Structure formats: structure tokens, C-alpha cells
């Protein structure tokens, strides 16, 4: 075994550590955002203003994680010369964290609506639908991050498929809420808070699709985005 | 002048061409999306269903531009070893096109609402506010792309500042629309289409901020994201 080989091995193993660290950081950020989503949903359903406030307070930590991972990826790109799947992994990480951060934004929006609802009084409808869609979106979120953790293309594809159910449930829920508002517009402000929260859930589902599509790209090298599956109205 | 120097120069000039091509592609995509935004706003205000349909039809072209630019950036990253400002330029391009594509999505949403309004009948209110906010958002969009074209940090900062005006106008408009709906809920479905369209405008403004912040990052090397300016509620 000569010096060069050792050196090469060392560099390569250091590089693996770099990539592994990025992956771990993305998953840690994902875990935090998943908790934010769960807490914001619970806060709205249970009218828990303390939990809602907690979600809002935590957003700053997520933002700073995004910046750290971005900087880490840029450093690796500059210092190493990643190619093929290593490069795809870094690009997938760079794109995913933007979506993860925006999922965190949506959780903060839901938490803000939950706060308003706990201050101004409950809405007259929509909680049941919000809870059901929330459950689906939580599953999508969890599956999206798992697919990234395990580079699991099948799971990633199932995330894309799950979104259809979320979309149709979302449309049914907003229709129902609109017809309730139409008949009883007296709690409009509160009902609109539930409406916006439903919209945030639907957006979180869209971000899950994006992440799942980055996983498919990273594993297969194919860019499946805009192939029809995610064409949202 | 020796061979190596020539070679180096050649490689470097080719690399410059690559970077310039990416920049041109991003701006071409931006120009298309800017037209989509303008057309969708006009379609809604004038109830022009043909124009709305045109916006919806063009979305596919934008999606494929995003994939092409993404692939081009990945190739450059793999084949060259960009560092410092070249690397930042590529990363800014990669991130910007995600925002540009989503701005295109929002234009498509507005076009869909415009179509519904032209089919189901006009909403009872909100057009004037929509037009005013639309004008501001068009300016933000145009400035955001100009700041990218000229790597103009001052202009980028002005985009970030302009968003405050959009946000407060948006909140005032939704409040006004809600109070109209509360008093006259008989055109709820139509009024909601205007409400969602206002929301799409506000989102486009948020994407403009993201692009402006990538420009600042690319020129100054500082990551100004999440520094407070864009903290949206």
C-alpha cells in the first residue's frame, strides 16, 4: 500500500463524512419541521395557544439550519469535485432544504391561525376535515423524509401518489366550508382562518412531492419533475 | 505565450460562456414568467378567458426551461470546478429558477381563477385592489429580474423593501373583501376567487424577495436570508 493510495483513501473517506454530515443535517432539519407541522396541527385542533406560540418561536432555528446546510453544501462543492451521484445528492439536499424551510413557514402560518382562533373564538366548521387532511399530510411528510433518509424510490413514488388524495380532500373541504360560510356568514373571520390553514396543509403536501422528486432524481438520475404527477391546479 | 497559458485561457473563456449561457437562460425563463404574470393579471381584470387560457397553456414551456437550466448547472458543476463567485452564481441560478417556476405556478393559479370568474360571473369586489397590488407586484418582478441581470445589489435591496408595501396592501385588501363578503355573502364563490388571486400576488412578491436575496448573496457572498427583512407572517 503506497502513500498515494492512503492519501486517496483518506480524502475519499473524508468526503464520505462530508456527504453523510449533509444528509444528517437535512434529516435533522426535516425532523424539526415535522415536529412543527404536527404541533401546529394539534394547536389548531385543540385550540392550544401555548403550543401555537412554541411553533412560532422555533421558526428561527429552522431558518438558521437552512443557511448552515446551504453553506456546508457550497463549501463541499468548492473544495471537492463531486460528480455523478455525489453531486446529485448535494443538489438534492440544496433544493430539499428550500422546500423544508417553506414547510416550516406553512407550519408557522397554521400556528398563527391557531392563535387567532384561540383569541377570537372557534370557527364554526372545518375542524374535522382539517384533522383528516392533517393526518394525511403528516404521513406524506414523514414518508418524504424517510424516502430521503433511505434513498427509497418506491416510498418517494408513494408520496407523489398520496398527494392526489390530499388534493381531492382539500377541494372537498374548502367547498364544504364555503357552503357553510354562504349559509352562516356570521363567523367569517374565524372560518377564513380554517380555510387558510387548509390551504397551508395542501401546500405542505406540494413541498413533500418536491422532496420526493428530488429523491427520485438523486437515486435514478432522472428528473421526474413536471412529468405530470405533480401538475397542480 | 506558452501552450498551457493558451489552454488555460481557452478553458476559462469556455467556462465564461457556460456561466453566461446559464445567466441568459435564467433571464429568458424570468422574461417568460414575467409575461405570464402580466397576462394573468390582465386576464383577471378584463375577464379575458382567452388570455387566461393562453397563460395556462404556456406553463409547460416554463417547467421544461427549469429542468434544462437545472441540468446545465449540474453539468457545469460536474465538469468545471467553480469556486467563489462562479460557484455562488451557479447556486443562485439553481435556487432562483425554483422560485421563478413557482411564480409561474401562481400566474397559472390566477389565470385559473380568471377563467372561473369569466364563466361564473364577476366577483362583487376586490378588482381595484387586485389591480393596484398587481401593479406593485409587476414592478417587484421586473426589478428582481433586472437585479439578477445586472447583479445590482441596490436594486435587489429595493425589491426586499417594496414587499412591505405589497404586504400591507394585501392585508388591507383581504380585510376589505372579507367585510364585503360578510355583508353580502351571495357571491361568495366569485369573491373567493379574487381572494385566492390576491394571495397568489402576495406569494409572487415573496418569491421576488427570495430572488433578490440570492442576488445579494451572489454579489456580496453574504447570506441575507432570514435576516428579518423577509420574515413573513
Q: Does B167 touch chain A (CB under 8 A)?
A: no
Cα separation, B206 vs B98, in Å, equals 13
CATH architecture assignment, domain B3-220: Up-down Bundle (1.20)
Cα separation, B215 vs B23, in Å, equals 12
Could you tell me the pLDDT band of residue A201, with boundaries at 50, 70 and 90? very high
Give the A window 38-67 contacts with B, CB below 8 Å. 60, 63-64, 66-67
Q: Is there a contact between A225 and B63 if contact means CB atoms under 8 Å apart?
A: yes
pLDDT, position A65? 96
Distance from the B81 Cα atom to the nearest Cα atom in chain A, whole angstroms? 6
Could you tell me the pLDDT band of residue A60, with boundaries at 50, 70 and 90? very high
How far CA B111 is from CA of A42, A230, B11, in Å, comes to 34, 18, 45
pLDDT, position B187? 87
pLDDT, position B154? 98
Q: Does B95 touch chain A (CB under 8 A)?
A: yes
Cα separation, A139 vs A8, in Å, equals 42
- Tell me what the pLDDT averaged over chain A comes to: 90
To the nearest whole percent, how much of chain A has pLDDT over 70? 90
Q: List chain A residues with CB under 8 Å of B60.
A: 226
Of B136, B55, B143, B203, residue with least CA distance to A206 = B203
Distance from the A207 Cα atom to the nearest Cα atom in chain B, whole angstroms? 11
Q: Could you tell me which residue, B226 or A71, shows the higher pLDDT?
A: A71
Q: List chain B residues with CB under 8 Å of A232.
A: 105
pLDDT, position A1? 39
Cα separation, A180 vs A182, in Å, equals 5
Q: Which tens digits make up the pLDDT trace of A22-44? A: 999 999 999 999 999 999 999 99
Please enumerate in sequence order all residues whose Cβ is within 8 A of that of A210, keeping only pairs 6 or more positions apart, or say none. A95, A96, A99, A225, A230
How far CA B110 is from CA of B45, B83, B161, in Å, comes to 11, 40, 24
Q: Does A124 touch chain B (CB under 8 A)?
A: no
Cβ atoms of residues B178 and B187 within 8 Å: no
Tell whether ipTM is more than 0.90.
no
Q: List chain B residues with CB under 8 Å of A202.
A: none
Chain pair A-B, CB pairs under 8 angstroms: 80
> Could you say which residues of chain B have pLDDT below 70?
1-12, 222-225, 227-233
Q: Is there a contact between B233 and A67 if contact means CB atoms under 8 Å apart?
A: no
pLDDT at A161 over 80: yes
- Here the cell at position A49 is 395557544
Q: Does B189 touch chain A (CB under 8 A)?
A: yes
- Here the cell at position B31 is 422574461
Q: Does B84 touch chain A (CB under 8 A)?
A: yes
Q: Does B68 touch chain A (CB under 8 A)?
A: no
Closest CA in chain B for residue A106 = B233
Could you tell me the pLDDT band of residue A122, with boundaries at 50, 70 and 90? confident
Distance from the A83 Cα atom to the nearest Cα atom in chain B, whole angstroms? 5
Please enumerate in sequence order all residues whose Cβ is within 8 A of that of B90, keeping only pairs 6 or more positions apart, or say none. B19, B22, B73, B76, B77, B82
Q: Does B86 touch chain A (CB under 8 A)?
A: no
What 3-state DSSP class applies to A117? helix
Which of B95, B185, B225 lies closest to A67 in CB terms? Answer: B225
| Sequence-ordered strand ranges (E) for B23-99 | none
To the nearest whole percent, how much of chain A has pLDDT over 90? 76
Cβ atoms of residues B42 and B80 within 8 Å: no
**Domain boundaries in chain A?**
3-220
Q: Does B188 touch chain A (CB under 8 A)?
A: yes
Only one residue has cell 434529516, namely: A27
pLDDT, position B229? 43
Please enumerate in sequence order all residues whose Cβ is within 8 A of that of A12, keeping only pairs 6 or more positions apart, or say none. none
- Exposed, middle or buried by CB within 10 Å (0-12, 13-18, 19+), for B175? exposed
Q: Is there a contact between B226 and A83 if contact means CB atoms under 8 Å apart?
A: no
Closest CA in chain A for residue B80 = A81
How far CA B67 is from CA of A78, B63, B73, in Å, comes to 23, 7, 10
Amino acid at each position: 500500500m503506497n502513500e498515494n493510495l492512503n492519501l486517496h483513501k483518506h480524502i475519499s473517506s473524508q468526503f464520505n463524512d462530508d456527504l453523510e454530515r449533509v444528509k444528517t443535517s437535512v434529516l435533522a432539519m426535516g425532523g424539526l419541521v415535522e415536529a412543527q407541522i404536527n404541533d401546529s396541527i394539534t394547536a389548531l385542533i385543540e385550540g392550544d395557544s401555548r403550543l401555537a406560540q412554541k411553533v412560532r418561536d422555533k421558526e428561527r432555528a429552522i431558518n438558521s439550519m437552512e443557511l448552515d446546510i446551504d453553506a456546508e453544501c457550497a463549501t463541499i462543492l468548492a473544495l471537492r469535485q463531486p460528480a455523478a451521484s455525489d453531486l446529485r445528492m448535494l443538489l438534492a439536499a440544496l433544493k430539499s432544504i428550500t422546500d423544508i424551510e417553506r414547510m416550516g413557514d406553512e407550519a408557522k402560518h397554521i400556528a398563527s391561525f391557531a392563535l387567532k382562533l384561540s383569541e377570537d373564538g372557534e370557527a364554526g366548521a372545518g375542524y374535522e376535515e382539517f384533522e383528516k387532511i392533517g393526518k394525511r399530510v403528516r404521513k406524506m411528510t414523514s414518508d418524504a423524509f424517510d424516502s430521503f433518509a433511505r434513498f427509497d424510490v418506491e416510498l418517494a413514488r408513494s408520496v407523489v401518489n398520496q398527494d392526489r388524495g390530499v388534493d381531492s380532500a382539500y377541494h372537498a373541504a374548502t367547498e364544504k366550508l364555503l357552503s357553510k360560510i354562504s349559509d352562516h356568514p356570521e363567523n367569517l373571520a374565524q372560518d377564513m382562518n380554517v380555510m387558510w390553514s387548509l390551504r397551508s396543509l395542501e401546500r405542505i403536501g406540494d413541498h413533500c412531492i418536491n422532496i420526493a422528486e428530488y429523491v427520485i432524481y438523486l437515486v435514478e438520475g432522472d428528473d421526474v419533475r413536471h412529468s405530470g404527477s405533480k401538475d397542480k391546479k
